[in-house]
Amino acid sequence: MTATFGATYARHYDLLYRDKDYDGEVALLVRLLDRHGAEGCRVLDIGCGTGQHAVRLASCGFDVTGIDRAAAMLVLARANATRSLDDAAARPRFVAGDARTFRLGGAPFDVALMMFGVLGYQLGNREVRDALDTVRAHLKPGGLFVCDVWYGPAVLAVRPSERTKVVDTVDGHVERSARGTLDDFTHQVAVHYDLRHVRDSEVVSEVHETHRMRFFFAQELALFFETAGLEMLALHAFDDPEKDPGDDTWNVLAIGRAVQPPSLPSPVPGNVVNGPVRRGTPPLQ
């Protein structure tokens, strides 16, 4: 089982994303779960990374299990949980596993999550199907699934560009450059990362990683959901449930409900989740 993030990148991960609004994202998740009628508090966070979502959800009273295939990320997740939650019983449980193949025993979950592009790391159709089968296998009937993905029309309209980020450390700074290469035939972007730790103008460590990410289109994603036994309830801008996906919404949130065991695709043309995907959702209460 190959980890997505190497040990060096993992070590700097939270530093690089310290400006990410995890508090706001978790608050939105809680509101969306309430809006769509989530029942129960058992949450499965697939591709949990360093546990930032999982720990915050646990702080809100959820019983969270986090899964990740990168051992280095799980070490950091457990440390984050220990640092953030005094009550050991309230901390998330973190387990090593691949999104496509792991199976946990015990009672099914009320909610499953794949945040920060985890579904997009499943590049082939079989991999996407396997990952969604994993979701369905762990959800109770009526359980909710929430994931964020890159939205195809926006990726094609706002092409990948080169970006550089510099963050200070106690002994220097970390530089990360990211360059994306688009393959519109396979619906993938190869993101080439160069990460350097600089101290006193000297590069003390350097790592290069390429992460391949798949992007999705609405009806394609709806069909993947359907074949895994999930009904797509909503698809909207990542940070705004009242905004429909468009050419400027690179990141979108998809919400599904477990409705049946996984099945083969329907042979009836156009029979995708009993009709077209519903865009947007009613205003938050």
Domain check: are 222 and 172 in the same one?
no
Domain check: are 163 and 35 in the same one?
no
Domain check: are 179 and 207 in the same one?
yes
What are the CA-CA distances from residue 268 to residues 129, 219, 261, 273, 276 (Å)? 19, 14, 19, 11, 14
**Above 70 in pLDDT, residue 277?**
no
Domain check: are 102 and 163 in the same one?
no
Residue with tokens 């993905």: 149
Higher pLDDT, 262 or 257: 257
**What pLDDT, in 10s, does the model give residues 217-242?**
999 999 999 999 999 999 999 999 99
**Confidence band, pLDDT 50/70/90 cuts, at residue 284:** very low
pLDDT at 237: 97
Do strands 230-237 and 251-258 pair parallel, antiparallel, or not at all (unpaired)? antiparallel
Query: What's the structural domain count of the chain?
Result: 2
59 touches 81 (CB < 8 A): no
**What pLDDT, in 10s, does the model give residues 195-209?**
888 998 888 888 898
Domain check: are 48 and 176 in the same one?
no
Q: Is the pTM of this model over 0.85?
A: yes
**Confidence band, pLDDT 50/70/90 cuts, at residue 161:** confident
Cα gap 222→21, rounded to integer Å: 28
Rounded mean pLDDT of the chain? 89
Cα gap 131→32, rounded to integer Å: 22
194 touches 188 (CB < 8 A): no
Domain check: are 189 and 90 in the same one?
no
Domain check: are 168 and 100 in the same one?
no
DSSP at 240 = B
Nearest by Cα to 146 from 271, 251, 20, 276 = 251
Side chain identity at residue 214, one-letter code:
R
226 touches 272 (CB < 8 A): yes
220 part of a folded domain: yes
198 touches 173 (CB < 8 A): yes
Nearest by Cα to 45 from 137, 124, 109 = 109
What CATH number is associated with residue 51? 3.40.50.150
197 part of a folded domain: yes
60-69, 221-230, 256-265: which has the minimum mean pLDDT? 256-265
Domain check: are 196 and 55 in the same one?
no
Give the Cα-Cα-Cα angle 70, 129, 67 (nearest 5 degrees).
25
Question: H or E stretch including 98?
Answer: none
**What pLDDT, in 10s, does the model give residues 104-145?**
989 999 999 999 999 999 999 999 999 999 999 999 999 999
Domain check: are 44 and 68 in the same one?
yes
Domain check: are 35 and 136 in the same one?
yes
Cα gap 1→268, rounded to integer Å: 37
265 part of a folded domain: no
What are the CA-CA distances from residue 9 to residues 15, 145, 181, 259 (Å)? 10, 28, 20, 38
Grouping H, G, I as helix, E, B as strand and the rest as coil, residue 27 is helix
Phi and psi dihedrals of 284, rounded to 5?
Answer: -65, 140
Do strands 63-68 and 93-96 pair parallel, antiparallel, or not at all (unpaired)? parallel
253 part of a folded domain: yes
- Which residues constitute the domain of residue 99? 7-154+215-258
Domain check: are 185 and 202 in the same one?
yes
Percent of the chain with pLDDT over 70: 89
Question: H or E stretch including 165?
Answer: strand 163-169
Cα gap 212→228, rounded to integer Å: 23
Identify the sign of the CA torsion 179, 23, 256, 275. negative
135 part of a folded domain: yes
Grouping H, G, I as helix, E, B as strand and the rest as coil, residue 126 is helix
